[in-house]
Chain A
Amino acid sequence: MHPAYSVIFFTVASGAGLGLLAFMGLGALSVGAQPMPFMLTTFGIAFALTIGGLLSSTFHLGHPERAWRAMTQWRSSWLSREGVFAIITLIVGAIFAALWTFMDIGSAILGIITAILSLVTVWATGMIYAQIKAVDLWHRWLTPVCYLLFSVAGGMILFLFLHAAFTDKTEPVWELSSVAMIALLVAWVVKVFWWMGGDKSPTSTPESATGLGSLGKVRLLERPHTGSNYLLGEMGFHIGRKHARKLRLIAVMLGAVLPILLILLAIPAPFDALWLGLAVLAHLAGMLVERWLFFAEARHAVMSYY
């Protein structure tokens, strides 16, 4: 599948933003009042990533001016559900954030609702891909699980970084750091399982696609067109599969190994925010590689005709 940069940026940014928002929602339960600059920056980054991601996803639309129509078919379409949940999450999250930041009311109920809505939105993003039966690699229940776990892990290390940058910490923050490292580890281990489970022979073949398999082995003799077309541009991408193994390794190194090492470095140091900032950047870079591969590696059933 063709990896569209707008969609890669959208899923990575809104995933991390919604993860951070979910973590802030749950934070209202335990953390209590926080300094104003921290609240403003954290909520600001969470909303900027989420809204920025959503806006970037409209760039690949043929008619962005009609995007509002995408809210209407939530009964059958996961893309529509994602849009509806995203809007509701942003509205509820904004009320929750405003109450907590400006009026010092950390509503636990609103916080929990914001957290649940954020994660449901991320789940819906994953389901957009998981529902597509024509792409074997995506059509698995583990796909939305990966999206969810990456969102949680991304949100956690963002929270860890911002927390370190805006609060005076005289002692190491073991608890929060450990939780973030575990979240990272779980997300990437599940992702590795997802990769392993995806390496199998395709469901649809030239034989089943043409229905001629009972007669013999089928291969394309002549393409229907001498030039390219929309289908080949959108689904005929296979450079990703060529370098898949190397890129998977790069994704794991950037997204998991490097951030965990940087978090470990940050725990005892006095200026730990720097290390954690680098951990956030490494993780986001790893996520971009992972997301690029998510599209580039996927084989669409229509390629059985080419």
Chain B
Amino acid sequence: MTQLPESTDRKLGLVIDLDTCVGCHACVISCKEWNTGGYGAPLADTDAYGDDPSGTFLNRVHTFEVKPADKPAMVTHFPKSCLHCEDAPCVTVCPTGASFKRSEDGIVLVHEDHCIGCGLCAWACPYGAREMDAVEKVMKKCTLCVDRIYNENIPEEDRVPSCVRTCPAGARHFGDLGDAGSDVSKLVAERGGFDLMPEQGTKPVNKYLPPRPKQQSLDEPVNLASLAEPKASGFLGWLDGALERLG
């Protein structure tokens, strides 16, 4: 059913801390590893060792440079996966009913046996959260590790999305963003969490926490190369200066 639910009982999602993320891509790899063996078709790679390698990933880390007008530029690592939008445009465009948003927890999923691989949902998503698998020819997307978070066969501490479990910096948080009392909701409130592309009207569930602005304000960049110049002293220093003066 590609009509969106009026409301969902819970709004499970991620909170990603751009201040803490170190850009190590561990979440990308653990996501690929778990989702290749778990829910649905494996995530294919094509020409993996050739000239033009390409592969399906559900989570990717971009790195941006932010340049304030009056301060030096800062680097921000930026993990991006499905935001499980409340008003998910990818779901309503699906002609087959393969895409759906669950009313119980708000997770957006693809029923891969029903997917015709038309690609329209990937067009409808402004975030680029959906990728067509080149081998299976069905649409792949983040499942919020639906086969982990409710899985009673794995230890309780592992019942979070693979990317959250693996992040060595603690930059990824998982929880119910529909519950104002949850840890993730409190984190969003304290740190001023924000939506990506609010102008697209998708009402994303996932939130991002802003990086701290640079505290140190440098008026002019230091010439680092000059610090590495060897300084001659003693006789050599006198010779250096004398030869310099000769022109």
State the A residues within 8 Å of B (CB).
Answer: 1, 60-64, 66-67, 69-73, 75-80, 83, 128, 131-135, 203-204, 206, 208-212, 214-231, 233-235, 300-302, 304-305
Given A77-B95, A229-B55, answer yes or no on A132-B124 (Cβ-Cβ < 8 Å). yes
Cβ-defined contact, B115 with A62, below 8 A: yes
Q: In the bound complex, how far is the Cα of B196 from the Cα of A56, in angstroms?
A: 37
Cβ-defined contact, A305 with B95, below 8 A: no
Give the top 5 A-B pairs by smallest Cβ distance, nearest first.
A62-B117, A62-B137, A216-B68, A302-B128, A224-B60
Interface residue from A61, A212, A217, A230 paired with B134 (Cβ < 8 Å): A230
Given A203-B199, A216-B68, A224-B62, answer yes or no on A132-B138 (Cβ-Cβ < 8 Å). no
Q: In the bound complex, how far is the Cα of B41 from the Cα of A63, in angstroms?
A: 14
CB distance from B48 to the nearest CB of A (A): 9
Given A210-B196, A211-B210, answer yes or no on A83-B66 (Cβ-Cβ < 8 Å). no
How many residues of chain B are within 8 Å of chain A by beta carbon? 70
Cβ-defined contact, B69 with A216, below 8 A: yes
Q: In the bound complex, how far is the Cα of B120 from the Cα of A218, in angstroms?
A: 29
User: Which residues on B sit within 8 Å (CB–CB) of A211?
Assistant: 194-196, 208, 210
Cβ-defined contact, A219 with B63, below 8 A: no
CB distance from A68 to the nearest CB of B (A): 9
User: Which residues on A sit within 8 Å (CB–CB) of B53?
Assistant: 226-227
Q: In the bound complex, how far is the Cα of B119 from the Cα of A234, in angstroms?
A: 9
Q: In the bound complex, how far is the Cα of B60 from the Cα of A116, in angstroms?
A: 47
Closest to A83 in B: B95
User: Which residues on B sit within 8 Å (CB–CB) of A69?
Assistant: 95-98, 114, 116
Q: In the bound complex, how far is the Cα of B52 from the Cα of A226, in angstroms?
A: 10
Interface residue from A135, A220, A223 paired with B123 (Cβ < 8 Å): A135
**Residues 172-230 of B contacting A (Cβ, < 8 Å):** 194-201, 208, 210-211, 213
User: Which residues on B sit within 8 Å (CB–CB) of A72?
Assistant: 95-97
Q: In the bound complex, how far is the Cα of B196 from the Cα of A301, in angstroms?
A: 12
CB distance from B96 to the nearest CB of A (A): 4
Closest to A72 in B: B97
Cβ-defined contact, B201 with A215, below 8 A: no
Q: In the bound complex, how far is the Cα of B57 from the Cα of A72, in angstroms?
A: 29
Given A70-B95, A83-B95, A133-B201, answer yes or no on A231-B68 (Cβ-Cβ < 8 Å). no
Cβ-defined contact, A134 with B132, below 8 A: no
Stretch at the interface among B74-82, B151-159, B239-247: B74-82
User: Which residues on B sit within 8 Å (CB–CB) of A215?
Assistant: 66, 68, 74, 210-211, 213
B161 within 8 A of A: no
Q: In the bound complex, how far is the Cα of B196 from the Cα of A211, in angstroms?
A: 6
Stretch at the interface among B5-13, B86-94, B162-170: B86-94
User: Which residues on B sit within 8 Å (CB–CB) of A76?
Assistant: 2-4, 91-94
CB distance from A23 to the nearest CB of B (A): 28
Given A66-B116, A73-B2, answer yes or no on A134-B96 (Cβ-Cβ < 8 Å). no
Cβ-defined contact, B52 with A228, below 8 A: yes
Closest to B209 in A: A211
